[in-house]
Structure 1
């Protein structure tokens, strides 16, 4: 699979870099900032996608925006391609290198510059880990709502570059909804973004939202002003057994309209996933007795503990009475809630549990998710009847994760599996990438979710901001 996707990115610069650009970078920034190959030998340069990555010609680790500006001006002068890297937790190969590029790691540009408790904002450097931002927000009496399993390693710059989603999109939106402004360095070394702290700012083209989700192909994001949210004073969590897909969508609709604090998470797991992780991970315990057609992790977070707890229990009782829910377990403590979430967070164990897996991050309209899952599984079973097929997702935002693995299948099988799932995605008008980006892995299937006119517009934007194709070449768009 990865060799195939690697070949698709033939637009990258493949010529050997001259010694001039290396000397110029080293002279301008010094050995502390610019490391040569023998100085970073053994360092990891690939992300979590298992996409092969070449080693960079030099590694640049800037300490501030001025260092980034200097580096980009020199690379622009010498037509030297650059790949920006954050925590290397991506799943689409977006931070991997094809050969001949400079790696720009923002690991040293980490830290929280300021917290505005009146305006509820936080200004941070792009290399700051997500978990650091979450903890600082909590210490200041707020919450930063973006959350995903790689929280301890992924960085804010990477979250912005991929428009990260995670578990609470249903209430708070994607990463782009958590940002008021950002600072970024363009391919020629120009700096854009004013780090403005207001929500309303209709002053022409929104460069912030253009750069968010561009996967490092349009600019190097260096700083950001993040939105903070009120910290919930009450979190109610339940694990529900649901009899059919219509009941799943009914439960979502009713919870959104009737729970006083709304829905902060709505995670749906098909039985194949649920059975697999409970069998393979003995530390997990089943929240309910018996088997169910679907399992839903329902969470509601708000500001009124007494009213919310009562309303949440009453709501579950009514859903049980009407048959929307077949059975439910209510978390009576943070430990109970953590045990529920541990089942949903089990994909963190996939590298050990399912080597050789083929994973998908697709999305559909909420109405179509059930049918999409059925079609995918049925067509996969026709070809590979003994395969392990795991299906789960953030149903509140239409995001479906599908993982497929069959022991000892040949490497040539992966593209065939992709053809099945992406075929269903295209025919049902879904998205081939819900939250992980395009990177290298999804170049060939992007056209299933984008029209020719849209792709042409994207290429025009790339050409306008990076005419020499220096920033993360070969990613997102193929030639």
Structure 2
């Protein structure tokens, strides 16, 4: 009866079961616990999402929202007793208000489509990440995605003016007011951003846009120490206030792996302990280049910079980014990779990385682990080849998250909790904080049907 009612409400082409459900909908990029859901729902509009959730509540069937399935924490992995609800058909760019610098989109629109639509109007969306061609705005919102532009613009939370969400019982919250100033009690939309679908389904959003930079300089800079990277970042912020759009630090282990995996040449004549990829935006190309050369020269004289290269073309800028975006090569070259996405106080990141490296080397000499991160927003990534640590996932996690706890950091900077990090959430949240989160969950989803088992029990 339940499936028949879904077909009647959504249409036969919007409800798939059994082997008609494509394998991609049985897990996400994390590869955690693949499962065939009871059904796959692909609604076309908010009304159909509402109808589907009403029926799920009526029959007590859990719902697992799915976006582009590019998550790395298992947040979109379905269950055999649940329906998977995909937003991929709700992918419209509904409108762009150039004067107000806003865009209204459906949740299934890809991040790349949002970027392209904004650029066509001379505007920029402030969040960018390597999965831009596949990830969807709804998923970006549900995980409060960050990526490469956080340093300049902030995470998805800062890019969102309005939101539409559907609660478990089918009620629609039309929080789509596009005003920056709106002090009318609780800012309800913020509850759904970062909640990983555990409170409801995000269906539409009003996004904040920014002026498209007239010019942008991309540089690779070689550094002797982590502390030199922090000092260089401070200098760039002081000289180019509000214009540093990326500051991607790569430890030597990551650079070496990236070059090997992609058959690339060393970017400098000498091998250096750290390389940072940084981008600065500006209004005048010649003036920006002159200011950067002056600042880099001063940093070299101070011993902060060992070598540097400023991209002379878009092709060269892309070649610089290719080194950093080797993360796409991790699944192919690590067997498999165990990925960490942590945040720490900026001043402690270098010491944290050294402590993790020492602990991993002491336990598994010769292990392959690589360190890289956004750094300017306190975000560090670490990936370990499981075949070089005897497949001891829990032991590696215990080492890394143990160090996170020592440094008062967070077990998840931007990937979310999902299934993968749920056992470690207590490292970064107190019992009272967790109880407050459970109270919110109970208030909005009293039957516990929305993405059950994710984030916390």
TM-score of the alignment, normalized to the shorter chain, above 0.5: yes
Residues 88-123 of structure 1, C-alpha deviation per residue, up to 9 Å, x if partnerless?
000000000232000100110011000101101010
The equivalences for 1:346-357 within 5 A come to: 346-357=326-337
Residues 137-187 of structure 1, C-alpha deviation per residue, up to 9 Å, x if partnerless?
000110112111100000000000000000111111001111101101001
Which residue in the other structure is 1:203 paired with?
184
- Whether 1:126 and 2:107 are equivalent positions in the alignment is yes
Which residue in the other structure is 1:14 paired with?
none
Q: Could you tell me whether the CA contact under 8 Å between 1:159 and 1:175 is conserved in 2? A: yes
Which residue in the other structure is 1:17 paired with?
none
Whole-angstrom distance in 1 between the partners of 2:346 and 2:394: 27
Size of the aligned set, in residue pairs, is 457
Which residue in the other structure is 1:440 paired with?
419
- Cα shift at 1:406: 5.0
- Whether 1:419 and 2:404 are equivalent positions in the alignment is no
Which residue in the other structure is 1:374 paired with?
354
Whole-angstrom distance in 2 between the partners of 1:31 and 1:37: 14
Whole-angstrom distance in 2 between the partners of 1:353 and 1:43: 21
Q: Could you tell me whether the CA contact under 8 Å between 2:64 and 2:85 is conserved in 1? A: yes
**Aligned with 1:107: secondary structure?**
coil
Which residue in the other structure is 1:39 paired with?
20
Whole-angstrom distance in 1 between the partners of 2:273 and 2:336: 27
Which residue in the other structure is 2:139 paired with?
158
Whole-angstrom distance in 1 between the partners of 2:362 and 2:79: 36
Whole-angstrom distance in 2 between the partners of 1:43 and 1:258: 46
Which residue in the other structure is 2:197 paired with?
216
Q: 1:263 to 1:35 in 2, by over 3 A?
A: same
- Report the TM-score, using the length of structure 2 for normalisation: 0.98
Unaligned 5+ segments in structure 1 are 1-19
Task: Choose which of 432, 436, 442 in structure 2 pairs with 1:463.
Answer: 442
**Aligned with 1:228: secondary structure?**
strand
The structure, 1 or 2, with the larger RCO (C-alpha pairs under 8 Å, 6+ apart) is 1
Q: Could you tell me whether the CA contact under 8 Å between 2:338 and 2:386 is conserved in 1? A: no
Whole-angstrom distance in 2 between the partners of 1:95 and 1:152: 18
Which residue in the other structure is 2:454 paired with?
475
Which residue in the other structure is 1:108 paired with?
89
Residues 21-73 of structure 1, C-alpha deviation per residue, up to 9 Å, x if partnerless?
22221222221222232433655421000102211111110000000011111
Which residue in the other structure is 2:377 paired with?
397
Which residue in the other structure is 2:75 paired with?
94
Greater shift after overlay, 255-264 or 65-74? 255-264
Task: Choose which of 168, 188, 191 in structure 2 pairs with 1:187.
Answer: 168
Q: Could you tell me whether the CA contact under 8 Å between 1:260 and 1:308 is conserved in 2? A: no
Task: Choose which of 316, 320, 329 in structure 2 pairs with 1:340.
Answer: 320
Whole-angstrom distance in 1 between the partners of 2:9 and 2:146: 38
Whole-angstrom distance in 1 between the partners of 2:277 and 2:22: 44
Whole-angstrom distance in 1 between the partners of 2:242 and 2:199: 38
Q: 1:300 to 1:408 in 2, by over 3 A?
A: closer
Unaligned 5+ segments in structure 2 are none
- Cα shift at 1:246: 1.7
Which residue in the other structure is 2:408 paired with?
429
**Aligned with 2:12: secondary structure?**
coil
Which residue in the other structure is 1:290 paired with?
270
Q: Could you tell me whether the CA contact under 8 Å between 2:67 and 2:108 is conserved in 1? A: yes
**Aligned with 1:342: secondary structure?**
helix
Q: Could you tell me whether the CA contact under 8 Å between 2:367 and 2:389 is conserved in 1? A: no
- Whether 1:320 and 2:300 are equivalent positions in the alignment is yes
Whole-angstrom distance in 2 between the partners of 1:429 and 1:39: 46
Whole-angstrom distance in 2 between the partners of 1:420 and 1:119: 48
Which residue in the other structure is 1:8 paired with?
none
Greater shift after overlay, 362-371 or 303-312? 303-312
Q: Please, what is the CA RMSD of the aligned residues? A: 1.3
Whole-angstrom distance in 1 between the partners of 2:100 and 2:350: 41
**Aligned with 2:206: secondary structure?**
strand
- Report the TM-score, using the length of structure 1 for normalisation: 0.93
